[in-house]
Amino acid sequence: MPRRKSAVHGRAARADVPQPRSQDCCLPFAAPPPGSPPRTPVPRYLFRVCSPRSAAGGCTTPPQWAASLSAASGHALSRTDLFRLDDADVAADMVFRHLCWQSSSPAPPPPPAAVVAAADNLVSWTSSLLAALVYLFYRRAADYLPVGEVWLCVVDTTRFAAGTFIRDADLVGAFCDDRRLGGGGWSRGEYLTQGALGLEGRCAAAKVRCMLDAGLLELHPRFARMARWSRQDAAAACGGAVAELRHPFYEPRDPPAGRRRVFANDAQIMSRIGDLFGVGWRAPVAVALLSLAPNRTGAGELLLNFGRLGQQWDPITENCLDPTCTSAVNLDNEVPEVAEFIHNLNDAYREFCDARVREHIDDVLQALDAAQRLIQLADSVQQPPRDYTTTEQRLHMSKLVQKVENAAQECRAPRPAGPYR
């Protein structure tokens, strides 16, 4: 039996439709029915570029909402889950239009604003900082915007309800013919939300102007060229720039060469840019910048740099571990920088914690050395003790101190480096 047309599609917003006001507001995607293939896991951190001319309802300073065109216009469709629409063709058309808006083919005459608002209830995010950076340069050039009006946002998906985010491929698989989308040769690592999403307390943002001042263009020679894009350059080169920046990930690696350490100046720039996003967010951003190139070490150094910039990084209060399986979010090796980011982020966390443990072991060794000197001083007293049990206790303490010191020294000794990952 054919599905009937959605009762809300194309209808103007009703006055009695409540508009989102709570920062807890979100519209999760319905869970797949039993027996359906599982959806792609959502990485912990996703990025988004926004500006006053963003499609999703513009941008405040800093952004507090991620609103679709439908939600920004108050359309009734904005309160309806994509999987609950009465007409699957409406949902398929929405997914297709949203994912293909960057088509380089000549654009048709713009439809009425009410139709546009009704036709798109989706908001895009990306797991790839590389794709986000290319897009922000594109957005600045395409909209003739000063960089002071463009923001880069990072969101922690674990702070939202289950089903809030969904991978683009999962929506395509549910509603669209893959051939209709036509491929394109590169992936944006795209995830989507629907309706209006409250970001307060779950998102951090920094102005691109501040990122440039912190040295962003020095991290890759391609960035400086993208910063000079004209509108025509941006439209023609956007996809190619992502592919070009990913190329080193696909080059054969020479195993004897091992991994190379990030340059100290680059590490300082990455930490400065990360610091713009504030405590709790700075580590993911800095490490994502490190992961724009493959096979680099030094993620722990980025975290240590935060202490030199102001506030020491705390692995307890700033827990940024990402348990996402990298093979699940990097299907077919389409977004290798995302897998590199998750590996580096978790390695940085471990490396930083290991460094702190070594510092505590050093403190223990100093305390044991002081205890050993006191025991030796007590043993140097010539007069026999009145209570020989104290001598026996001191002997036990001396042996204990020696055992603990030997164990601490063994932990402190450098070990041969094992294979990475």
Q: Within this chain, do residues 195 and 49 fall inside the same structural domain, yes or no?
A: yes
CA distances to 50, 168, 208, 228, 402 from 135, in Å: 10, 17, 12, 14, 60
Contacts for 159 with CB less than 8 Å, ≥ 6 apart: 201, 202
Q: Within this chain, do residues 67 and 200 fall inside the same structural domain, yes or no?
A: yes
The bridge status of strand 260-261 relative to strand 296-297 is: parallel
* 36 close to 51: Cβ distance less than 8 angstroms: no
Query: For the chain, how far is it from start to end, CA to CA, in angstroms?
Result: 52
Rounded to 10 deg, the angle between the 129-142 and 231-250 helix axes is 170
Q: Within this chain, do residues 56 and 205 fall inside the same structural domain, yes or no?
A: yes
Asked if residue 255 has pLDDT above 80, the reply is no
Question: Sheet containing 166-167: which strands, arranged edge to edge?
Answer: 166-167, 190-194, 122-126, 45-50, 151-156, 203-207
CA distances to 68, 125, 275, 287 from 120, in Å: 7, 15, 34, 33
Residue-level pLDDT at 10:
32
Confidence of residue 212 (pLDDT cuts 50, 70, 90): very high
Contacts for 37 with CB less than 8 Å, ≥ 6 apart: 173
Q: Among 307, 308, 311, 301, which residue's Cα sits nearest to residue 348?
A: 301
Select the more confidently predicted residue: 183 or 369: 369
Confidence of residue 180 (pLDDT cuts 50, 70, 90): low
Q: Within this chain, do residues 174 and 321 fall inside the same structural domain, yes or no?
A: no
- DSSP label at 80? S
Would you say residue 226 lies in a domain?
no
Residue-level pLDDT at 118:
53
| Separation CA 288–CA 292 (nearest Å) | 7
Residue-level pLDDT at 7:
32
Structure tokens at 281: 């967010």
Total-model pTM: 0.80
Sequential DSSP letters for 364-389: HHHHHHHHHHHHHHHHT--SPPS-HH
Rounded to 10 deg, the angle between the 264-275 and 299-309 helix axes is 60
Q: Within this chain, do residues 81 and 179 fall inside the same structural domain, yes or no?
A: yes
Lowest mean pLDDT: which of 177-186, 216-225, 365-374? 177-186
Count of domains for the chain: 2
Query: What are the pLDDT digits (tens) for 214-241?
Result: 999 999 999 999 999 998 888 788 878 9
Residue-number span of the structural domain to which 313 is assigned: 254-364
345, 364, 383 — which closes off a domain?
364
CA distances to 83, 139, 165, 227, 421 from 33, in Å: 11, 38, 17, 46, 36
Q: Helix, strand or coil for residue 98?
A: helix
Q: Within this chain, do residues 160 and 56 fall inside the same structural domain, yes or no?
A: yes
Q: Within this chain, do residues 205 and 318 fall inside the same structural domain, yes or no?
A: no
| Separation CA 418–CA 351 (nearest Å) | 14
Q: Within this chain, do residues 302 and 197 fall inside the same structural domain, yes or no?
A: no
Name the residue with tokens 């939202």.
160
Would you say residue 164 lies in a domain?
yes
- The fraction of the chain above a pLDDT of 70, given in percent, is 80
Residue-level pLDDT at 179:
52
* 288 close to 216: Cβ distance less than 8 angstroms: no
- Mean pLDDT over the full length of the chain: 80
343, 364, 385 — which closes off a domain?
364
Structure tokens at 335: 């977004």
Would you say residue 248 lies in a domain?
no
| Separation CA 92–CA 176 (nearest Å) | 5
Q: Helix, strand or coil for residue 100?
A: coil
Q: Within this chain, do residues 115 and 194 fall inside the same structural domain, yes or no?
A: yes
Q: Within this chain, do residues 74 and 179 fall inside the same structural domain, yes or no?
A: yes
Query: What are the pLDDT digits (tens) for 322-361?
Result: 877 777 777 777 899 999 998 898 888 887 788 888 888 8
Q: How many CB atoms lie within 10 A of CB 320?
A: 20
| Separation CA 122–CA 69 (nearest Å) | 8
Would you say residue 271 lies in a domain?
yes
Would you say residue 23 lies in a domain?
no
The values of phi and psi at residue 166, to 5°, are -145, 145
SS3 per-residue string spanning 325-340 = CHHHHCHHHCCHHHHH
| Separation CA 238–CA 243 (nearest Å) | 9
Q: Within this chain, do residues 67 and 119 fall inside the same structural domain, yes or no?
A: yes
349, 364, 379 — which closes off a domain?
364
Would you say residue 101 lies in a domain?
yes
- The fraction of the chain above a pLDDT of 90, given in percent, is 31
* E strand segments, 112-270: 122-126, 151-156, 166-167, 190-194, 196-198, 203-207, 260-261
Contacts for 99 with CB less than 8 Å, ≥ 6 apart: 168, 171, 172, 181, 190
Asked if residue 419 has pLDDT above 50, the reply is no
Query: What are the pLDDT digits (tens) for 136-178?
Result: 999 888 888 888 889 999 999 999 999 999 999 899 888 876 5
Would you say residue 407 lies in a domain?
no
Name the residue with tokens 């309706």.
195
Q: Within this chain, do residues 53 and 184 fall inside the same structural domain, yes or no?
A: yes
Lowest mean pLDDT: which of 104-118, 314-328, 335-349, 399-413? 104-118
Would you say residue 288 lies in a domain?
yes
